[in-house]
Chain A
Amino acid sequence: MKYSLLFGLYLSPLLGCLLFNMGKRFSEKTIINISLFTSIVPFIFSIIFTGQLFLHHSIPLEIPLVNFTLVKHHYNYTLWIDHNSIVFLFLTHILAIFVIKYSYTYLNLEKGFQRFFSTIQLFIFGMYVLSLAGSLDIFFAGWEIVGLSSFLLIAFYRAHNRSLINAWRVFNIYRVCDLGLLIGAVISQAFYHDANRFSFISQLQPADLSFISPWTIFFLSFFMIFASVGKSAQFPFYNWPSRAMEGPTPSSAIFYGALSIHAGVFLLLRTYPLWSYHLTNTILVGIIGLTTFVLSKIQSKVQANIKGQIAYSITAQIGIMFIELSLGFTTLVLIHLMFHALYRCFQLLVSPSIVLSSLTNSPQFQAQEISVLNFLPKRLKNTLYILASTEFNFDNSWRGFHFLGWKNIYNYFNTIAQKVQWYFVVVLLIILIIFDYKFLPMIFPIVSIFLTLVALIRSTHAFSSLFNIFIATTVNFVGIYYWDKNSLDYTLIYLIPWFITSIITLVITYRFRRLNLSYFHALGTEFPYHANSFFICFILLSGMPFSPIFLAEDIILEKFIDISFLSTFSLVLNFMAIAIIYSKNYIRLFMGRTMKSY
């Protein structure tokens, strides 16, 4: 406990971020000094602290941090320090200081200088949380912060519609995969206490797991792998890093070259004893890694632009890391990760100098690589080239599947959705409640899921989609109340902040209810207060770490799993939909470049 106050030093980047968002404009020099200060102070502390640990041979070590009880739910936040976290922590420190120093001159006189540094500091804080987290809860918090700051930096240039679309896309992938982690954390906590903590996971023996149902472990590991696949851009989602290279070069370097993209590998390293218990999971990880490696290696060879080339090379290397993980070489993965992160970060930073080096006879330009592809027959080679340059039709086939196979169902659903308004549903529910049918508890989550899907599909207008999702959540909670009349004891902690933020956003968007969300409206300059309050509500609602909603999510999900699996699923879908719809609303309403001329 004597350490726990000192660990507050890791909060300093967050404080810097908050300071920059207080509404005051700072000069560039001040911003740099503050940012360097907030990242150097934890660095010095880390050096002293880990030096002490190494001297006393007390690694790994668990440090209790906060201990409190909220609505009969016991929160025990700890830090877990082992070799993995020390490597990741120092990687963060070094690259953070370096990138801040680089950005000082690089971003000189740029609009949004302060915004850039506040976001970078938020990201650094997220990485501290991620690498030091003692349990999956806190890990999830860091994971979320990293995702949010990533979204903000891809959308750094608010006048470029293409970057906003890409930011939204990446955020959606992050969000879907985050929920894998969330469900994993909840399942692990629900089924056996303490499985949440890394100190427990790291000392797991196969004997400990033998008495638990193999399906539970399989699902738990599956969700973990799903989460890391999204974050580390592996097989089904391996196309996004090339699209995410929209922010300033230093931010791309630190996010997609170095730290953020390796977070998935880090999660798998942390939970290695858990998911490697089943052979199925190890094979799954290996196959994912191999597929990604092959596909992105071929794709990186056909990229015409330098950042896309680097992005696909990064995913290919992480594919190799996944293969190494499935074979059990955890130490090798750690070393590989460290040097890969450093190398890619610098490679991205100096990527504009490719022009000069290609003008000269530099090795990058002239070297004829000896590759398997050179020995292939010409026809196959050309076929591969075309396939790779269209990204193996991966995105297109998704779209084709969506529009051909699902077109009828989609249209049918859409017509129903247009005819069935929310008030019909509410009237139906009231009738059902009055007559008290047996299957009533099942009806509520189903209706909620239906309304969520309606909100997702019909998110063409600002107000209507928000209202749909509001009704969907309400219906779900009514259902829970119907199951368990005492549920208000623990749901209120979620419901009160949720209700306030929802009402605020509904009031804000009611003014713009006629605007079509297929276009960008760029109202942020005209209505800065609307935009800012909408953004704050959005990050609170999407479960910004350590906000009331974040604390409540744990409790609710845990209790819900005891009550009804369907309700839990519908609530999780709700969380996902809230983030997607709110981010879309925020981007389309308040950002972008309009055709309007003043």
Chain B
Amino acid sequence: LHPLTNDEHFYALKFCQEILERKHFIPHLVDIQKNIHTTNYKSHPFQAVFCMDDRECGLRRHLELINPDIQTFGTAGHFGIECFYQSEIDPFPRKHCPLPIAPKVLIKEKTKKVQKIKMKYYMWLSNIILGSIATTFELLLKLLNPIKGNNYYNIQMSKKKSLSNLIRSTEESIMTNNHSVKQGYSFEEMARIVYEQLQIIGLTKNFAPLIFIIGHGSTSENNPYFTAYGCGACSGRPGGPNAVIFVTMANMTEVRSILKSKYHFFISEETLFIAGMHNTCSDTVTFFDCENINDIKLTSLKKFQLSISQACARNATERMQAMPNVTAKSIHPMKDPKLRSLSFFETRPEMGHTDLQFAIVGRRELTHNLDLKRKAFLQSYDSTIDLDGKILAKILTAVVPVCSGISLDYFFSRVDNLRFGAGSKLPQNIVGNIGTSHGTESDLLYGLPIQMVDRHTPLRLVIVVEQKPHIALAVLNTHPLVEQIIKNHWVYYFAYDWEQKEYYLFKNDSMIKYNLGWSI
């Protein structure tokens, strides 16, 4: 035996990596292949649209198990709305859409006066000696009893949302964050957004009386990386506002009439959209603007709330068991997810995208009742209504950059945490709302801290598309970013032919039939 040369060393490493990846994804691919799904054409009383995020995966499974009447969908968490959003407590507008997109619309929440009065009181208080003593004890109490605190997302998740300028009144454009934007949407734009979004997830007929649009966000205290726990499709912001905007649009009679006349898309008056937000850290779901609902709908809403709170509880217990240091004989003091989300002490409020490995684009029937262990992004897509692959192309432009970005972020931060990641979270220092540094003198840190990735297995993302291989291949040329990511093998790209139950892997610019045995 001679010592390995550089090339040989590289091939050995590559081989090991591929073996590891196969070991992790093949059992799940086999599961999907074996999953006998019964297509159920009966109309469901509830439909719920979630973000495609891997943390919603477990919640959806539990929800469907608890109440089989609920049909769930998954889509990118901005629900097709690309806008700047300014809530009542934001000093300036923030982007609520995937990072590469430049929004052209600004939407504001109505401001209240209560906040400002409280601010003045604080300013007066903190400038005198007594004030500083009072602040000391307030801080002490806040540290010891976090539940009493009122934080950003608690305010963000207040149950009433009133949007001040959703409907465009003028065509004037204004400048925000160096973008020229217009205020609000016109009715045609709203109808187009609603139509495209519902078409993407395959919800074109059999509308339930109640359709829930549920975004997700995360609450954590004392944590500079809170946006890393947020919704990836909303640039790390909570997806609640997007859900509210979508729901307000879809409930408008003007929009529905345009949908009917222009897109031949009939949503009956019975159907009501309701917005909600799932807090992935404390595992609670809040519903917005539920005051003006009639009694019949209210009883069924309560029914849904009951089952989703049960699902959340089950999801939380399952999730907490996978947390580092929290086992049955737990030694960690923060066993309660609600406490974790509010505690100032906690460096691991939740697991984030840990163990992310799949992005499955297809009908829910493929993965129904399948325990994917919070590993998969689930994007709903109905291949039967998409014969030329146009919808798939649209989906892939959103799914591939977002999912591969998250996956590679975790991958590299885990592989060499000191170089590609941010090291430990403990000594970090916040630099001018730009980033974090180690102490006061280091360079700005990129990547994720070790506390977020230490349970992650560094594997490349596996994208599974439920579509014929030739269509899946043809779709790749539509967007340069998607093409680059897939053709340079930053991700695995599978096409799953459901009728023949065969997998096709993208390799050497073609789709090759993939054998799920142990041959390579």
Contact = CB atoms under 8 A, between A and B. Distances in A.
B115 interface: yes
B383 to A, nearest CB: 41
B426 A305 contact: no
A163 B439 contact: yes
A451 to B, nearest CB: 34
A426 B432 CA distance: 58
Contacts of A365: 91
A27 interface: yes
A347 interface: yes
Contacts of B223: 352-353
Contacts of A360: 89-91, 152, 155
Nearest to A343: B136
Nearest to A308: B440
Chain B contact residues: over half helix, strand or loop, or mixed? loop
A242 interface: yes
A106 interface: yes
A346 interface: yes
A102 interface: yes
Nearest to A351: B430
Given A28-B331, A346-B136, A358-B433, A102 B143 contact: yes
Interface string B426-439: 11111111000111
A307 B143 CA distance: 19
Contacts of B441: 162, 166, 243
A245 B428 CA distance: 9
A259 to B, nearest CB: 15
Interface in B203-231: 221-224, 226
Contacts of A305: 429-432, 437, 440
A350 interface: yes
A359 interface: yes
B123 A363 contact: yes
Interface string A24-63: 0001110000000000000000000000000000000000
Contacts of B418: 159, 593
B365 interface: no
B344 interface: yes
Contact of B324 (A105, A109, A247, A346): A109
Interface in A133-181: 156-157, 159-160, 162-163, 166
A306 B333 contact: no
Given A163-B439, A166-B439, A366-B91, A304 B136 contact: no
Contacts of B132: 339, 343
B119 interface: yes
Interface string B334-352: 1000000001111110000
A520 B3 CA distance: 29
A360 B89 CA distance: 5
Nearest to A359: B152
B427 A359 contact: no
A108 B332 contact: yes
B343 A105 contact: yes
Contacts of A242: 440
Contacts of A311: 440
A346 B140 contact: yes
B286 interface: no
Interface string B126-156: 1001001101100110110000000110010
Contacts of B119: 361-363, 366
A353 B139 CA distance: 12
Chain A contact residues: over half helix, strand or loop, or mixed? helix
A342 B89 CA distance: 30
B424 interface: yes
A106 B426 contact: yes
Interface residues of A, number: 55
B241 to A, nearest CB: 14
A249 B344 contact: no
A355 B346 contact: no
A246 interface: yes
A355 B439 CA distance: 16
B95 to A, nearest CB: 13
Contacts of B222: 349-350, 352-353
Contacts of B151: 356
Contacts of A352: 222-224, 428, 430
B177 to A, nearest CB: 14
A104 B440 CA distance: 24
A360 B151 CA distance: 9
B439 A246 contact: yes
A342 B136 contact: yes
A247 B324 CA distance: 23
Interface in B129-188: 129, 132-133, 135-136, 139-140, 142-143, 151-152, 155
Given A109-B454, A359-B152, A367-B123, A346 B143 contact: yes
B442 interface: yes
A106 B438 contact: no
Contact of B426 (A29, A107, A166): A107
Interface string B346-369: 111000000000000000000000
B441 to A, nearest CB: 6
B299 interface: no
A248 interface: yes
B229 to A, nearest CB: 12
A307 B433 CA distance: 13
Nearest to B331: A29
A57 B426 CA distance: 45
B489 to A, nearest CB: 26
Given A106-B345, A110-B424, A361 B438 contact: no
A504 interface: no
Nearest to B221: A353
Interface in A324-368: 339, 342-343, 346-347, 349-356, 358-363, 365-367
A249 B418 CA distance: 19
A243 B440 contact: yes
B140 A105 contact: no
Contacts of B142: 350
Interface in B71-104: 89-91
Given A162-B438, A305-B440, A339-B133, A363 B122 contact: yes
Given A163-B439, A304-B432, A346-B143, A359 B426 contact: no
A106 B427 CA distance: 11
A350 B139 contact: yes
A249 B152 contact: no
Given A108-B332, A308-B440, A359 B424 contact: no
B325 interface: yes
Interface in A243-282: 243, 245-249, 252
B226 A105 contact: no
B117 to A, nearest CB: 12
Contacts of A105: 332-334, 343, 345-347
A247 B427 contact: yes
Given A102-B345, A350-B222, A160 B438 contact: yes
A107 B441 CA distance: 22
Contact of B331 (A27, A307, A339, A346): A27
Nearest to A354: B430
Contacts of B332: 105, 108
22 contacts: A105-B334, A105-B346, A107-B426, A110-B424, A110-B426, A163-B427, A246-B438, A248-B424, A248-B426, A249-B428, A305-B430, A307-B430, A339-B132, A343-B133, A352-B224, A353-B221, A353-B223, A359-B91, A361-B89, A363-B119, A363-B123, A367-B126
Given A108-B325, A248-B424, 6 more contacts: A104-B345, A106-B345, A242-B440, A307-B429, A360-B152, A366-B119
Interface of B: 89-91, 115-116, 119, 122-123, 126, 129, 132-133, 135-136, 139-140, 142-143, 151-152, 155, 221-224, 226, 324-325, 331-334, 343-348, 418, 423-424, 426-433, 437-442, 451, 454
Interface of A: 27-29, 102, 104-110, 156-157, 159-160, 162-163, 166, 242-243, 245-249, 252, 304-308, 311, 339, 342-343, 346-347, 349-356, 358-363, 365-367, 593
